[in-house]
Amino acid sequence: MSAKTIIEYLAKNKGIDVQINGDRPHDIQIHNPAFYKRVLMNYSLGVGEGYMDGDWSCQDLEGMLRRTLESFVKSENVSILTSIQNRLFNMQTAFKSKKAIQKHYDVGNDLYQAMLDPYMQYSCGYWKDASTLEEAQLAKMDLICRKLRLEKGLKVLDIGCGFGGLMRYMKDTYEVEVVGITLSVEQQKLANERFGIDTIFLKDYRELSKSDPNSFDRIVSTGMFEHVGYKNYPAFFKAARHVIKDDGIFLLQTVGGNVSVTRPDDWVDKYLFAGGMTPSITQLGKVWEGSWVMEDWHNFGPSHSKTLNAWDKRTKEFFKTTDRYPVRFQRMWEFYLLGCKVNFDLRTLQLWQMLLTPNGFKGGLDRVG
């Protein structure tokens, strides 16, 4: 039985409404017969790399991914070696984390400037009352600040501060003192050049445990926790607890999953976020038990679909203006953004904002939305 026949049988058995060399926009067109073997060897890598290499194409990539992800359930024997590695070893050590961050976030500030809003927010916007990416990101930053109950003079730490846009917004709007940490040299550089932020330090979050205790009134972290890895969740929250004051407030924004995972997706791990994985409610709850009080948990996952859609459109327009990024990279970026968008549309991925306090806020914290 040929690899093609096996793939066609599996697709039909799973009820995947995508035909090989069909005439519908969401049907895939195969240009290299070797593609079938690549998929059988490793579904995630085979499909992703196959698209990047031009082994297959599709007029409606988003429609194809939606129909496939709705129906397909990965086999348990895919990438057994990767699964074993992640269970036995810490794949997000300080050294590996630095390399992973630099690989993704140092790819080119010109790309991020074209893709993102003026505040360079590389995390989900808040689209409740927004109609543009700029409005959604301003609404997200405003929401974060109101949840943190920012007041003039407070000292705020941004863990994984990105390009510094949120720090600039907090500083200008609330006159707070802001400090950020990142592992990306390019993010630190742009934050200084674009936003005039010179209080961002190249530091791993684990180093916070060696800093002065109880030194921050507020802590915020948006879009960084996905890089931490489940083995390091305790270390992350221990470091945050070390530097926050007893009456402080910590806001964590992260992509979350419906099930607990202990290994990354193979394609995402190789090309985008090395060692990255999404936490589950169970994993977070176990880490917080006895150490943090959950004040609020806000899920606005559908907003991320709109954010990713905006990023995809802006990126495609940008690629038309430059020859710096090869076609293979462009196809990889498209597959990344649309693949994530579909997962948020299908609600297999969530976007959480969680408000934590060390001992419980006196009198409680009213919901801010």
Last residue of a domain, one of 78, 101, 123: 78
How many other CB atoms are found less than 10 A from the CB of residue 257? 17
pTM metric for this prediction = 0.89
Measured distance CA(209)–CA(16) in Å, rounded: 49
pLDDT digits (tens, 9 = 90+) for 43-83: 889 999 999 999 999 999 999 999 988 875 343 333 333 44
Range of 302's domain?
92-357
Among 292, 290, 298, 262, which Cα is nearest to 277's? 262
pLDDT at 96: 46
User: Residue 240 is encoded by which pair of tokens?
Assistant: 């945050």
In a domain, 300, yes or no: yes
Q: pLDDT below 70 — which residues of the chain?
A: 1, 72-107
> Rounded to 10 degrees, what is the CA torsion of 3, 6, 8, 11?
-130
User: Residue 116 is encoded by which pair of tokens?
Assistant: 């993102």
pLDDT at 89: 45
224 with 188, same domain: the answer is: yes
Last residue of a domain, one of 28, 43, 78: 78
> Partners of 216 in the beta sheet?
244
Radius of gyration of the chain (CA): 21
232 with 157, same domain: the answer is: yes
The residue from 124, 145, 161, 340 that is catalytic is: 340
Among 16, 152, 27, 113, which Cα is nearest to 72's? 16
Among 22, 56, 23, which Cα is nearest to 39's? 56
What's the number of domains the chain is made of?
2
8 with 62, same domain: the answer is: yes
pLDDT digits (tens, 9 = 90+) for 331-369: 999 999 999 999 999 999 999 999 999 999 888 898 997
Q: Give the C-alpha distances (Å, rounded to integers) separating 183 from 187, 205, 236.
A: 8, 9, 15
Measured distance CA(71)–CA(64) in Å, rounded: 11
In a domain, 83, yes or no: no
DSSP 361: -
DSSP 131: S
158 with 256, same domain: the answer is: yes
CATH number for the domain harbouring residue 234? 3.40.50.150
58 with 139, same domain: the answer is: no
Q: Give the C-alpha distances (Å, rounded to integers) separating 19 from 6, 31, 58, 73, 354.
A: 14, 14, 11, 18, 42
pLDDT at 94: 52
32 with 160, same domain: the answer is: no
Whether 145 is a known active-site residue: answer: no
pLDDT at 274: 84
Contact 74, 267 (CB under 8 A): no
pLDDT at 169: 98
7 with 115, same domain: the answer is: no
117 with 72, same domain: the answer is: no
pLDDT at 287: 95
pLDDT at 241: 97
67 with 112, same domain: the answer is: no
Alpha helices, H only, the chain: 3-14, 35-41, 43-52, 61-71, 80-88, 94-105, 109-115, 133-147, 165-174, 185-195, 233-243, 266-271, 281-288, 302-319, 327-345
Last residue of a domain, one of 56, 78, 100: 78
Contact 35, 56 (CB under 8 A): yes
User: Residue 119 is encoded by which pair of tokens?
Assistant: 């505040």
